[in-house]
Amino acid sequence: MSSIQENTDSACGKDLSVVISAYNEEESLKELVPWIVQVMVREGYTYEVIIVDDGSSDGTWDVIHGLAEAGSYGVRGIRFRRNYGKSAAIYEGFKAARGNVVVTMDADLQDSPEEIPEMYRMITEDGWEIVSGWKQNRQDNRLTKNIPSKLYNATARRITGIRLHDMNCGLKAYRQEVVKNIEVYGEMHRYIPYLAKNAGFGKITEKPVHHQKRKYGKSKFGIERFVNGFLDLLSLWFLSTFGKKPMHFFGFTGMLMFLTGGIIAVWLIADKIIQQANGLRFRAVTDQPLFYLALLAVIIGVQLFLAGFISELVSRNSSERNHYNIRETI
């Protein structure tokens, strides 16, 4: 048995799991996997390479199947029936991972496997729970990728409170406990550090990594990903802040609008009565647009309060209402 084979056949736990989401990347995978294996063998790691075929329409699965059958690459493959998106692929990869440290990277050869040993060391020796890559010198179009990315990351830092320069970098390393205690869904792969932080894993840092030009094909993501990413970030922030206490948001906002509208309406009516009683000229309350705005505020306030009440009932009946991540017990 070859040294590579021995390295990949350890019985259960491994040093490293490398999770790759691939969509129409047959050319890139042929180069990427041997490169990863070269680094793993050189460092003496026990490892596995988990490649999730996200419904590719080219020969990506054939390449994965061939690499897995070769037996010398430590490849495990998962194939979706259709394209579900990167978050779904990463989630399934996390579920399958057996490594003490789990590394995610893109399949397009823009992430370098040479960065993995140092990221592994930062997790195992320095005690970090997440190490995120930081592409300081991006090899992308400056107008369509670099500038929007800087704005996007600045907004993400502001909202999440996590000081990462490149939240969306695909090259990240995680302690196994992290990936087994978070759920990646929708398009939330961009915000795994924020999901981890909300789950109680706050030891997050970053490492500058080498970024290479795309060698094959073209990017699967357009400029719209920044708009969608911002909307996803707002959704995630709202759910993490008010998901288990919706009445705190809807109830407070509803009461504020109800009281504001009610006070304005009462003031308009009282002002009209006082002027009428003193024989002064007065304007009918129903002739004033402000009165209708006040009524609208009252109605919306009641609706928001009821929305908060119903959301609270739903939250209290959720199967996740008492789900907590426990670090240790004695």
Instruction: Quick: pLDDT tens for 270-307.
Output: 988 998 888 888 888 888 899 999 999 999 999 999 98
The residue that leads in pLDDT, 4 or 215, is 215
Around 97, how many Cα atoms within 13 Å sit in the side-chain half-sphere? 30
**Segment 47-67, tens digit of pLDDT:** 999 999 999 999 999 999 999
The answer to the question of residue 60 being in a domain is yes
The segment with the largest mean pLDDT, out of 4-8, 106-110, 259-263, 318-322, is 259-263
Q: Which of 69-73, 236-240, 247-251, 292-296 has the lowest mean pLDDT?
A: 236-240
Binning pLDDT at 50, 70 and 90, where does residue 9 land? very low
Angle in degrees, 0-180, between the axes of helices 246-277 and 289-316, rounded to the nearest 10: 160
pTM attached to this predicted model: 0.72
The answer to the question of residue 329 being in a domain is no
The answer to the question of residue 328 being in a domain is no
- Tell whether 204 and 268 lie within a shared domain: no
Last residue of a domain, one of 242, 257, 283: 242
Last residue of a domain, one of 200, 216, 242: 242
Map residue 20 onto helix, strand or coil.
Answer: strand
Last residue of a domain, one of 197, 225, 242: 242
Work out the percent of the chain whose per-residue pLDDT is above 90: 49
Mean pLDDT of the chain: 84
Q: Can you give the pLDDT at residue 7?
A: 46
Residue 93: pLDDT over 80 = yes
Number of domains in the chain: 2
Residue 174: pLDDT over 70 = yes
- Tell whether 86 and 197 lie within a shared domain: yes
The answer to the question of residue 154 being in a domain is yes
Binning pLDDT at 50, 70 and 90, where does residue 244 land? low
Structural domain of residue 38, as residue ranges? 3-242
Q: Can you give the pLDDT at residue 143?
A: 53
Around 221, how many Cα atoms within 13 Å sit in the side-chain half-sphere? 19
Cβ atoms 51, 65 nearer than 8 A:
no
The answer to the question of residue 322 being in a domain is no
- Tell whether 232 and 285 lie within a shared domain: no
**If you write DSSP's letter for every residue of 80-120 in order, what string do you get?**
-SS---HHHHHHHHHHH--EEEEEEEESSS-B-GGGHHHHH
Around 69, how many Cα atoms within 13 Å sit in the side-chain half-sphere? 6
The answer to the question of residue 103 being in a domain is yes
The residue that leads in pLDDT, 64 or 326, is 64
